[in-house]
Amino acid sequence: METLSLVNIFIISFTTSLVSFGGGYLIIPILKNEYVVKRKGLTADELEQISSISQSAPGAIALNFTGGIGYRLRGLLGAVVAVIGSIIPPFIIIVLVSRFYNVLIENNIIQSMINGLDLSVIAIMIGLNLTMFFNLFKRLGIKAHILAGLFFILVYFSSLPIPVLIILNYFLVSTLGLKEIHNATH
């Protein structure tokens, strides 16, 4: 495992934040490539654990995720540096866009770029979800996927609030003898 400096963590967070349009989920494959493949600072399992925690914690996923990586690599200071690196690019972009909003909104080239970004985001999200699905299937087996399918149907077709569905999920996992799913994810 390579030990990364605070400067490296800042630069990775800054550049990732600068080019990741479409939300926090899209930084996961980018940061996996940086921290697991290129720099070998984390294992794929460590990154998945950080991803799971960052998705379940309140707040922006991108900030939770980069902060979790920074914390894992360099402690509290690493988390602060990673989050600051992630905050600066969107802040600058928002300031610039708000300053030139009227010019940008009427520009056909800018509108075409935004439409192209939408398609790219969809492709990346599909790839990310398939990767996560197959990784979970390897770890948890068919029972977890049957339960996930049932909950997809419930979320999509019912009007139950998400917190109720989460509580129902925990109830079913514990009562149907699917504790190995819970143990494998915690």
Say what the pLDDT of residue 182 is: 47
Q: Residue 29 — pLDDT band, cuts 50, 70, 90?
A: confident
Q: Which has the closest alpha carbon to 9: 63, 62, 83, 61?
A: 83
Q: Is the pLDDT of residue 44 over 90?
A: no
Q: Residue 74 — pLDDT band, cuts 50, 70, 90?
A: very high
Q: What's the half-sphere exposure (Cβ side, CA atoms, 13 Å) at 148? A: 13
Say what the pLDDT of residue 8 is: 95
Mean pLDDT for the chain overall: 82
Q: What is the mean pLDDT of residues 53-62?
A: 84
Inter-residue contact 184 to 140 (CB < 8 Å): yes
Say what the pLDDT of residue 22 is: 63
- Higher-confidence residue of 123 and 40: namely 40
Inter-residue contact 51 to 135 (CB < 8 Å): no
Stretch (H or E) spanning 122: helix 108-140
Say what the pLDDT of residue 181 is: 47
Q: What is the mean pLDDT of residues 136-156?
A: 75
